[in-house]
Amino acid sequence: MADIKSVQLRDFHALRWEEPVIMEMDVPGERGVLVPAAEEAVEKEVGDGVSVLGKLKRKKAPAIPEIAQSRLIRHYTRITAENLGSDNSLKISDGTCTTKYNPKVQEHLAAQHPGCTEVHPLQPVETMQGVLEVFYGMEEILKAISGLDKFSFQPGGGAHAVNSNASVIRAYHKSRGDHKRTEIITSIHTHPSNAATPSLNGFKVITLIPKENGLPSIDEFKAALSERTAAFFFTNPEDTGIYNTQIKEYTDAAHAAGALCSYDQANGNAVMGIARAREAGFDLCHFNLHKTFSAPHGGFGPGCGAQGVRDFLAPFLPKPTVEFDGSKYYFDYDRPQSIGKVRSFYGNFQAVLKAWMWCRTLGPDGLKEASVIAVLNNQYLVKQIMENVPGVSLPWDRGQRRMEQTRFSFMKLKEETGCGIEDVNNRIVDYGVPEIWESHHPLTVEEPFTPEPCESYSKEDLDYYAKVLMTVAQECYDDPEMIKGAPYKASKHQSLNAFAEEYEDIATTWRQYKKKFKK
């Protein structure tokens, strides 16, 4: 282990532009693009192109800001440069999110190859065989990694995939005439979408509270199971980084009660090539291609929650599925039991493409090695943090090692200095390190934080990260008042935490803002 005391921290200062909101930059009459006039032949067909809309034509122009191209580019370039992202900082801070390096060859291909950029979802299937081959190939890879039998790439994110799995579960029980199964069981340290999306699907949610080892109790789990249980939704390792070695006992008990088991593998970074959903007894799972599989993140936008199931659930997956008849690929819409479409067309092809390239680059051995390094990295960082950072504690510490991420607590720091994780986060950005993800709700430890040093980071990166954390924690002891005024070198000063404010005091859209504050 390196002695991080000798690690030299670099000077850092963020850009600060105080950019206005894009809606405030509106200058009536300014244009970013001058749309060319329609060709004569087109005009002959549709006239001015607007009057054909008839009643569909909106009465008022949309409130889109009018901005010249140069100002627009300046605006977005500036706010991009103000960011601390995975390309300019140690995104180790973003625990549970697996923000790994996004290889640029993947980004270039997806953004520039005409076979990707010029393809239209409605063009004949024969003319996009390459695209379908990528979908099909990625499905084969995920089948091998999970041991499950069929995948859909339609969900645009992790929660979307869990929701879609909940819909499959509902459809499955309904198809068997089993209408009593109205409950699902999950745990607090499993991502909250595993409670939220079954709830959206009409299930009652039973949430298990962790015990001294950070895990739910198998006895309480068994007591919660009944003929009303539709499914068990679980993450393993959970958000805490603790792996539940008893998992097969849970899934066996669930199956004995007639329930299905759904595995949230949004973050599957600890177990690729090491442990599979199938052997652990799961019937459904999902992988976030924008986490474990190196595609970039982006809240229900460019992401993909690949949803996988065992064969007996395959008829319920979203349609169409991608099939191969031995000579050509095609979309199968003839799936009468399908829960239907969950997103337009086929999902985010670009995320699937990037993930497929990544897997093909690494190969099976490389994928396993990525998981091994991710876990090793985390265990190294845990040791550096526990030995060097004052005020830190490791909750549920019973000697077991953490997997790919770790939930720590700064409770001791808070008690001894008055500075907690919110203060550390205000200061850590002064060192060019993004604020650390704390925890999902509700908190099970006070002052929590959860770093995740995936395989993209070198030993030097981990030492640097631990040194920054050590320095900030020490500053909390030496000069808490300075910490309370932080950050000093970031692009923004102590931005408002909208979640903490009264609804009346915040606006989440421009229209709301105008209504509430510009009367």
Measure Cα distances from 310 to 87, 329, 409 in Å: 37, 22, 38
Toward other proteins, which CB reaches closer, 48 or 219? 219
Would you count residue 219 as binding other proteins (CB under 8 A)?
yes
What sign does the CA torsion over 62, 66, 71, 75 have? negative
CB of 419 to other proteins, least distance (A): 10
CB of 216 to other proteins, least distance (A): 10
Measure Cα distances from 330 to 126, 132, 302 in Å: 8, 7, 24
Toward other proteins, which CB reaches closer, 21 or 209? 209
- Which of 217, 337, 393, 474 touches other proteins by CB under 8 A? 217
Under the phi-then-psi rule, with left for phi > 0, alpha for psi from -120 to 50, and beta for the rest, what region is 351? Answer: alpha
Write out the H or E segment, with its range, that includes residue 265: strand 260-265
Toward other proteins, which CB reaches closer, 283 or 438? 438
Main-chain dihedrals φ then ψ at residue 317, nearest 5 degrees: -60, 155
Site string for other proteins, 401-430 (x = CB under 8 A): -------------xx--x-xxx--------
CB of 426 to other proteins, least distance (A): 13
Would you count residue 438 as binding other proteins (CB under 8 A)?
yes
Residues 6+ apart with CB under 8 A from 104: none
CB of 494 to other proteins, least distance (A): 11
Nearest to 381 by CA among 463, 474, 292: 463
- Which of 62, 114, 500, 504 touches other proteins by CB under 8 A? 500
CB of 246 to other proteins, least distance (A): 17
Tokens (6 digits) for 21? 């909101």
Toward other proteins, which CB reaches closer, 204 or 492? 204
Would you count residue 439 as binding other proteins (CB under 8 A)?
yes
Nearest to 232 by CA among 248, 213, 212: 248
Site string for other proteins, 221-260 (x = CB under 8 A): x-xx------------------------------------
Give Cα 334 to chain centroid, integer Å.
Answer: 31
Write out the H or E segment, with its range, that includes residue 409: strand 408-409
Binding-site size, other proteins (CB under 8 A): 37
Write out the H or E segment, with its range, that includes residue 459: helix 459-478
Residue with tokens 């349609």: 319
Burial of 184 per CB tally in 10 Å (0-12, 13-18, 19+): buried
Nearest to 392 by CA among 412, 406, 378: 412
CB of 230 to other proteins, least distance (A): 14
Residue with tokens 């409770």: 411
CB of 65 to other proteins, least distance (A): 28
- Which of 10, 398, 441, 518 touches other proteins by CB under 8 A? 441
- Which of 497, 504, 509, 518 touches other proteins by CB under 8 A? 497
Question: In the range 153-212, which residues lie near other proteins by CB under 8 A?
Answer: 188, 192, 195, 199, 204-212
| Contacts with other proteins, residue ranges (CB under 8 A) | 188, 192, 195, 199, 204-212, 217, 219-221, 223-224, 414-415, 418, 420-422, 438-444, 446-447, 497, 499-500
